Chains A and B, each alone.
Chain A
Amino acid sequence: MTRSRRSFLADAGVLTLVGCFAPRLLGTDAPAEGRRRYALLVNLALCNQKPGCQECRIACHEAHNVPSIPDPAREVKWIWKEGFERIFPTEVNPLLPEAVRDFSGPVLCNHCDDPPCVRVCPTGATFVRPDGIVAMDQHRCIGCRYCMAACPYGARSFNFQDPRPFLEATEADYPTRTRGVVEKCDFCSERLGTGRQPACVEACPTQALVFGEVAELAKSISSQRVIRRRPELGTSPHVFYAL
């Protein structure tokens, strides 16, 4: 059988297109079976032994050159504390123990199994690593902020301005960012590579934060009830809260 050059090129073109797009269309972000899958457990009772404590936020923001911007509308934050009613608006009910309702706790990127931010990003600047960490490539980010609209947890921050003047000190081991890109918690992927725990976990004075493979976290649960933020959205968040 002879083949014209034209038909060969046409078929090659079609195959190339299929090859380029098929993996992205069919692929899922969920890590494959048997892979490591990181998660964070927050023991709220332990966390609230020190009300008003800000150690996790301070340690994280120092380690990652997160600027301290006074205007709350333009703040950049990777981990911060909120009241129970703001973290879990639908969990509040009259029989909820007063102590639980008065809890506050850290909020951060939930490193979802099926993150909407990754789904909508038009450049692949945010992506899921094989170990389940939702990571950011700030060099590829075009600053469209679609991921911020997509995140149902408000975990993403945009650099509305050059963040560097708002740094008190610069951590040399971690890059600073430029204006016009989005950033968020990366589960300290840079520290995990050197065998260290995330900065927030290390800094917590009450050992309320436990980081590790999701299957192993079960050992560290301090209560009967473990909940996640907005599980009904199907994102499968991987920050767990023990009441």
Chain B
Amino acid sequence: MSSTPSEESRSHFVALSAGVALAALLVGFGAWLVQLSRGLVVTGLSRDVSWGLYVSQFTFLVGVAASAVMVVVPYYLHDFRAFGRLLVYGEALAVAAVVGAGLFVLVDLGQPSRVMNVLLHPSPRSPMFWDLLALGGYLVINAVLAGTALWTERYGLGTPWWLRPLVYLSIPWAVSIHTITAFIYAGLPGRPSWETAVLAPRFLASAFASGPALLLLLVLAERGGAWTDDAPPDATGAPEPGSRVLRALARIIAWALALNAFLFGVELFTAIYSHHPEHSQALRALYLDPEGGLRFWMWASQATCLVAFVALLFPATLGDHRLLAAAAALAFAGIWMEKGMGLIPGGFLPSPLALVRGYAPTLLEVLISLGVWGASALVLTGALWTIRKVRAEGSRF
């Protein structure tokens, strides 16, 4: 196989990202050893805000994992063929995200060596128990789907009979992982900014923006706009900017962002117009109170998501890969600020004793989090490398 210069530069890109991910993993692991020896006192957590960056990242990554369904549903249920070659990327992203989510739970524990107690003493009344089962199952399903797809592609085999049922199972399963993750928070009495029926829908909406945004960035980094020709032209024959894959992803992101903003508005109305003191005080502490330390993230998230949404509506953005990448990056960052930063520690405002205690992660906490992101990125890079290798060799079929 002769490699073109652009392929060579892409392998350099893979090696570079694997190197960066590995470096982050090693630094994070070192930082985690410090946390293990000194306890969670090295974090910014307190008795009033007892979940912070780790649990936020867990929540965010579960969303990224669930969003693989946004590739599966159009392809398998609506026969959107353009997503055919994207499927395995979505599944690989899901696997990497679940690995990261699991590791974030682990680094958050005060006694990580006892984590198996969750299985030794199963507690079906705890949403956390169900969430761990759901995530474990989702990891297996997506690993099997991605592995099978690559295996059959590599050896030119037919699709096994059980693949389609497993794909259909993965669709509600994807919805379930993020729903149960939302139920961890939404089922708690006395945490008014979490205790809302709209939390799970909001989580899903924001997930369906952040995951596809990451996927879009991956596609651009991996293949550029090379998938334009993979799909037949549109039925109307009218010229449209960009490739069908990129356009479809961009629209999914845009409308998921819109849905997320709408659900947030519904939440705001209910809290503010009802004058229900607990509900509105919690939102005020999160969005207005300087003591809470989170208002910057919440407002920045709103602004970033709005800019991303508007940008994604313009055809000019869809036709220009740089603009498209910027819009996707904004969408990803905007959702991260909300779900990966604000909403989880924000749920503790105000405390049961009417205190607003600020939360900000410490440097060590950030390093550990970057380490887990590194581990997740390493899994993803490995998967991308495998996909590329299989497809480069499989091109003879």
Contact = CB atoms under 8 A, between A and B. Distances in A.
Contact of B127 (A74, A120, A153, A179): A120
A215 interface: no
Contacts of B112: 142-143
A122 B118 contact: yes
A73 B109 contact: no
Given A143-B110, A152-B188, A161-B40, 10 more contacts: A24-B124, A24-B125, A120-B127, A122-B126, A123-B114, A141-B111, A143-B40, A143-B112, A144-B110, A149-B191
Interface stretch (A45-53, A56-64, A98-106, A228-236): A228-236
Interface of A: 20-21, 24-25, 73-76, 82, 85-87, 89-90, 107, 116, 119-125, 140-146, 148-154, 156-162, 178-182, 230, 233-235
Interface in B341-381: 347-348, 351-355, 357
Interface residues of B, number: 48
B9 interface: no
A195 B127 CA distance: 38
Given A86-B353, A152-B352, A125 B117 contact: yes
Contacts of A149: 50-51, 185, 188, 191, 347-348
Interface string B13-49: 0000000000000000000000000111101011110
Contact of B126 (A73, A89, A120, A182): A120
B241 interface: no
Given A73-B47, A140-B117, A233-B189, A146 B354 contact: no
Contacts of A20: 122
A36 B175 CA distance: 45
B347 A122 contact: no
Contacts, number: 148
A148 B111 contact: no
- Report whether over half of chain B's contact residues are helix, strand or loop; otherwise say mixed: loop
A144 B109 contact: yes
Identify which of B43, B112, B132, B190 gathers the most chain A CB atoms within 10 Å of its CB: B190
Contact of A161 (B41, B109, B121): B41
B207 to A, nearest CB: 21
B189 A73 contact: no
Contacts of A157: 47
B108 interface: yes
B128 A146 contact: yes
Identify which of B105, B110, B124, B187 gathers the most chain A CB atoms within 10 Å of its CB: B110
- Report whether over half of chain A's contact residues are helix, strand or loop; otherwise say mixed: loop
Identify which of A75, A76, A144 gathers the most chain B CB atoms within 10 Å of its CB: A144
Interface in B92-114: 105, 108-112, 114
B353 A162 contact: no
Contacts of B189: 116, 150, 152, 233-235
The 5 closest A-B pairs by CB, nearest first: A143-B110, A180-B110, A152-B190, A73-B46, A154-B352
Contacts of B129: 122
Contacts of B132: 122
B123 interface: yes
A161 B38 CA distance: 6
Contacts of B354: 85-86, 89
A180 B39 contact: yes
